[in-house]
Structure 1
Amino acid sequence: MSWKPTKKKSRLPRWIPEWLKVCINVCFRLFLVGLVAFLAIASYFYYKASQFDLDVVANLDQHSVLLDAHGEELAVLGNASNKIATYEDLPEDLKNALLAREDSRFFEHCGVDFYGLGRATVRNIKDLSFTQGASTLTMQLARNTYEIREKSLQRKLLEIALTLRIEAKYDKDEIMSYYLNRIYFGEGCYSIEEAAQHYFGVPTSELDLGQCAMIVGIIRGPHIFNPHNNLQAAIEQRNQVLARMVDIGKITQDQADAAMKAPLKISKKNDEISARNYAQGAIISHLSTIIDEQKITEGGLKVATTIDAKLQASCEKSITSLVAETPDLQAASIIIDNKTGAVLSIVGGRDYRTHQFNIALKGKTELGDAFTPFIYLAALERRQLPIKNQPVKTGKQIGKKETISIAKRLGLNGIFLESDIYNGSVLVSPLQAVTAFSVIGNEGSRPQTHFIKDIKTAKDLTIFKNSPESVQVVEAGNSAECLKLLSKQGKVYRYTSSSTSERSLWVMATNKAQTAVIWVGYDIPRDIPNRKQLLSEMNELITQWLK
């Protein structure tokens, strides 16, 4: 007698066919497996989301900070007045425009619009890519707050988990307010209040219907849809938002028509840089070559610069004082570290408030007899004898083409007038001059000048780190011989342009560790009064800076 296990009795009704019972059992088991998998995935992403500090959502101080060479705060980029619009400041038309354009079911869903998400998922499967996101306002807030940028399934699941946590902590009014105070509106505006003031010259609370629709239209394309860059595109976006508001019943067609006919009242574009002095302007210019504008203006960056704040303040005060008694006379200065190329101080004119063009960076001024040290160095490189205070005789030993070639190697990339090159007929900026002169004090090595050491996010994640570079452009022995041809005071080696140079005065100096240049002249070249006195003061200043 053999034993067989008793067949388990099915709990399903007897009238159900056996094949259907098998299908039901398989589906039930698959459901259980799916449920377990879902709970496991949900638990994992809930855990991941729990690692994020939700208080950050309400912390709207997202301005980027510039730090000086010693880690002290140098400046705050953007509008430091921290203009924040409360929910009560938001006009009903603005709230409705935002709902119509970005999330019409905002006050109904739990932060995730599962209907929209399902529809987007089907579309993404068809497209075999993440072409649709179905992002709600809360999801966008999570993405912007925690810098979740990459498009992937994992990113979307983490974003959903964070969204649910945000919805559990904050009410809908707070979420809308935080969203509008964090989103980017183009041209350096990363809050609704700044955008309202920038584009329309009014506070958020005074925006009319048409302005509300236009400002919401900017969100999807801050650069291409803002009225300063493309007025027609901005108008088209406004009209689309108004039409959508009509569709969801927030306004009537008559109201939309009236808003489209109303005067635009757009403020004139203000091109003023957020910088407050030449150093900050130069840093911002350098920053824009490293990361894109939106990343800068979204804020939250900590930018470690090369500027020595105390030295910068001293140079600004000294340059202003140097030309204070002579109307319209300009002056510029720059000091760099020879080994790293770090710019320690830069002054681009007599007064940044009235003259924002940075002469130290962008000016093109004739070197005149200040070209002499570079002729000495060129002669030494070609095994010729430098004749002190005789640049023409020295230069003729190697020829014009060779003189210019070596000058360019030193970093002088200006405009050369070959016919009079030995007398310094070359137009360069003080930045080029200081780079070239540093080669003499830096054992023949030319540094790569820069203003930024590294950039970190608010969470101290390094997104850029500068690696100082230098290039050996002349022999170290020749740069040492060239130093001997310069005047020396203590540890400072200096070359001063002749007082007979009527339209441009230069003083260049190095103490081997640092190099400095001071230039004095006019925007439109003309004779400079009191040249001897100015040169004396310039020499005194540059010696003090390089002690």
Structure 2
Amino acid sequence: MNNRRNTAPAKGRKKPVRLRRSRSFLVTLIKLGLAFLLLWIMVAVFYYLWALTFDISTIGQMPQRSSIYDRNGTFYSRTVGENRVVVHYDQVSPNFVNALISREDSRFYEHHGIDPLGIARAAIRNLLFGGMKQGASTITQQLARNSFPLGGKTFNRKFLEAAMAFRIEMEMSKEQILELYMNRIYFGSGLYGVEAASQSYFGCPASDMDLSQAALLAGLIRSPNRFSPLNNMDASITQRNVVLGRMVELGSITRAQLEKAEEEIITPSQKNLVNPLNSWAVDAILHELEQVVALDRIDTGGLKIDTTIDAGLQRAAEVSLSKRLHEVEQGKEFRLQHHVAKGAEPEEPLQGALLAIDNAGGGITAIVGGRDFAKSKYNRALVAMRQVGSSAKPFVYEEAFRKGVITPETPVSDAPLNSADLPPNSRAYNPQNSDGTFGGYLPAKEGLVHSRNTMSVRIGVKTGLGDIAGAMEHLGLAEHIPRYPSICLGSFESTLRNLTTAYTALATGGRKLQPHLIEQVTDSEGTILYRASHGRIPTLDPTAARTTTALLTEVLTRGTAARSSTLGLKKPAAGKTGTTDHFVDAWFLGYTQGLTCGVWVGFDHPKTIMHGGYGAELALPIWVDVIQSAAADHFAAGPLL
């Protein structure tokens, strides 16, 4: 009995102990849970505060190419940079929006930047199949990491990315997030944003994409270069079909729509991928852009660049220069001069350049800096310094007319020069005429029309070499022209741009135009960043300029450029040939009522082109081709006087 009494209470005492232990364990769990929750709250607050340090307003500032338009307002090319065209949400096909959400974030409209269910689903699949087979980033998280420098692939970045996604969701609507994402994401083959991708892959704006195209594009996002239809068409079609299947699962499309979309044949072409640096015109435009717009604004992109380039005239100039130079190289004289065997190519290609200016406002309508931009990007029209030869003579005669030293009918000797014809203390100077002959007294105008060297030097010396050089410097031909008799024959160097610009002063009756390629630059909001001034600088006497033009029209009818009519010239025009010693440089500078155009032909390393390589033989044919082209008909071509 005593044993029983002692046993019963012992068993009774064990129950409170177990209860106390259970309660203690539960309290411990609760404390740990609260501590864990507090820790996560602290982590969340820390990363959210970190997220607040980013300027979210910059999320819409995406580098993109700027658009270049010709003088008629027609799209011409794009600048360098990310090939992106920013569009609004309502400018994207609903087909793509649905395909994108189905592919990347099916619960996009249900979460607030982070999708716990998506994370759990991805974790389970990764555990079942091993490795990281499926990610869990929402569209908003992808936008965050593609918009801000959040670091590498670490847990730290993932936490910050989640915080940024939450902040974006709190401050932006779902449509805004989708618009930013669709414009920012990379689609392979150098294409950024849905508009550039749609235009390049399918040849249509993003608003016109059909279901099959939209699904294909959405399928590229996870591995854009590998799945690009230009790199792997089979892979892109496979991904398209995966997206279509997912859309059926989610009820976005019907089975019939899927089958129709899968049957569609998509044949993307690289011809829609614009190479912005494939022409002399675009290259020159980009250089000028850097002079008129701040570099950081250029880098941002999204600019609309209205230019003075005439696409048709530019094409005509490029074709003519290449064709005519090839014809010269195939000629007998050229091959004998350079010992080129039949069927072989010369060691150094003959080069050329052309510049055309609109007489109405000074806009450069065509610019060709060489024979082949792909082989040499050296722009001979803008930077090559070459001896100008007889193309300088019109300015000698204009200055003589201005000062009243001569009239077109004043008799001038065409005999060889002697010391009496030169300034005091000058060295002996006895230039030959191009045809090797000399004459007696001839009307002064014949010296210009037939490019007589001896007559031109006599007129220049009588006018005053200081005044001649000063007039040429004022025209911008060169900064410092020596006061030698040879400057009357163009013994100094200049560029085709400067020489053509000087001729605009003759074409306009005395006012030199300010040549430019860019008419206006506006940003994506329509704000004008730059507008050309259309300057006209008085440089020549109007009466003397008109008198000189009258003689230059005769150059084309009965002078050194008389063959222009057989080449096809039908418009009223004026101009002057130019050839330097030993046929090293060949020029023709001329103008109609609407256009001033200059052409140069020669080698990059100065040497004789060929015997008889006058400006009328080498440069004039190119000039006539351009002036008589269909594109040139858009410019005034009435009488010059």
Match of 1:543 in 2: 624
CA separation of 1:498/1:466 partners in 2, compared to 1, >3 Å: closer, same or farther? closer
Residue of 309, 316, 322 corresponding to 1:307: 309
Structure 1 residue 430: Cα displacement: 0.3
CA separation of 1:364/1:99 partners in 2, compared to 1, >3 Å: closer, same or farther? farther
How many residues are treated as equivalent by the alignment?
360
Match of 1:442 in 2: 508
**DSSP-derived class of the 1:418 partner:** coil
Residue of 400, 406, 411 corresponding to 2:465: 400
Cα displacement string for residues 228-261 of structure 1 (whole angstroms, at most 9, x for unaligned residues):
xxxxxxxxxxxxxxxxxxxxxxxxxxxxxxxxxx
Match of 2:322 in 1: 320
Partners of 2:579 and 2:149 lie apart in 1 by 65
CA separation of 1:462/1:524 partners in 2, compared to 1, >3 Å: closer, same or farther? same
Contact 2:150 2:160 in 1 (8 A): no
CA separation of 1:204/1:347 partners in 2, compared to 1, >3 Å: closer, same or farther? farther
CA separation of 1:426/1:80 partners in 2, compared to 1, >3 Å: closer, same or farther? same
Match of 1:96 in 2: 151
Match of 1:432 in 2: 498
Structure 1 residue 179: Cα displacement: 6.6
CA separation of 1:302/1:177 partners in 2, compared to 1, >3 Å: closer, same or farther? closer
Match of 2:556 in 1: 488
Residue of 67, 85, 107 corresponding to 2:162: 107
Partners of 2:596 and 2:155 lie apart in 1 by 59
Contact 2:324 2:621 in 1 (8 A): no
CA separation of 1:544/1:323 partners in 2, compared to 1, >3 Å: closer, same or farther? closer
Partners of 2:170 and 2:324 lie apart in 1 by 59
Percentage identity across paired residues of the two chains = 21
Paired residues for 1:179-328 under 5 Å: 274-324=276-326, 325=329, 327-328=348-349
Partners of 2:170 and 2:80 lie apart in 1 by 28
Contact 2:368 2:381 in 1 (8 A): yes
Paired residues for 1:347-496 under 5 Å: 347-385=368-406, 387=444, 388=447, 389=452, 390-414=455-479, 416-419=481-484, 420-486=486-552, 487-489=555-557, 490-496=571-577
CA separation of 1:461/1:111 partners in 2, compared to 1, >3 Å: closer, same or farther? farther
Structure 1 residue 484: Cα displacement: 2.1
Structure 1 residue 423: Cα displacement: 2.4
Structure 1 residue 176: Cα displacement: 8.1
The answer on 1:527 being equivalent to 2:608 is yes
Partners of 1:403 and 1:97 lie apart in 2 by 68
Structure 1 residue 83: Cα displacement: 11
Contact 2:280 2:367 in 1 (8 A): yes
Cα displacement string for residues 184-215 of structure 1 (whole angstroms, at most 9, x for unaligned residues):
xxxx9999xxxxxxxxxxx9989xxxxxxxxx
Contact 1:110 1:167 in 2 (8 A): no
- Normalised to the residue count of structure 2, the TM-score between the two structures is 0.50
Cα displacement string for residues 338-363 of structure 1 (whole angstroms, at most 9, x for unaligned residues):
23111000001111111111111111
Contact 2:144 2:161 in 1 (8 A): no
Higher mean displacement: 101-110 or 384-393 = 101-110
Unaligned runs of 5+ in 1: 1-53, 113-137, 139-161, 182-187, 192-202, 207-272
Contact 2:359 2:508 in 1 (8 A): yes
**DSSP-derived class of the 1:321 partner:** helix
The answer on 1:165 being equivalent to 2:172 is yes
Contact 1:360 1:431 in 2 (8 A): yes
Structure 1 residue 483: Cα displacement: 1.1
**Residue identity opposite 2:469 in structure 1:** I
Contact 2:307 2:518 in 1 (8 A): yes
**Residue identity opposite 2:172 in structure 1:** R
Contact 1:66 1:303 in 2 (8 A): yes
Q: CA RMSD in A?
A: 4.1
Structure 1 residue 427: Cα displacement: 0.7
**DSSP-derived class of the 1:362 partner:** coil
Structure 1 residue 366: Cα displacement: 0.3
Contact 2:510 2:545 in 1 (8 A): yes
CA separation of 1:190/1:519 partners in 2, compared to 1, >3 Å: closer, same or farther? same
CA separation of 1:498/1:356 partners in 2, compared to 1, >3 Å: closer, same or farther? closer
**DSSP-derived class of the 1:345 partner:** strand
CA separation of 1:72/1:298 partners in 2, compared to 1, >3 Å: closer, same or farther? same
Rg (Cα) greater in structure: 2
- Normalised to the residue count of structure 1, the TM-score between the two structures is 0.58
Cα displacement string for residues 273-320 of structure 1 (whole angstroms, at most 9, x for unaligned residues):
952111111111110011122222221111000000000011011111
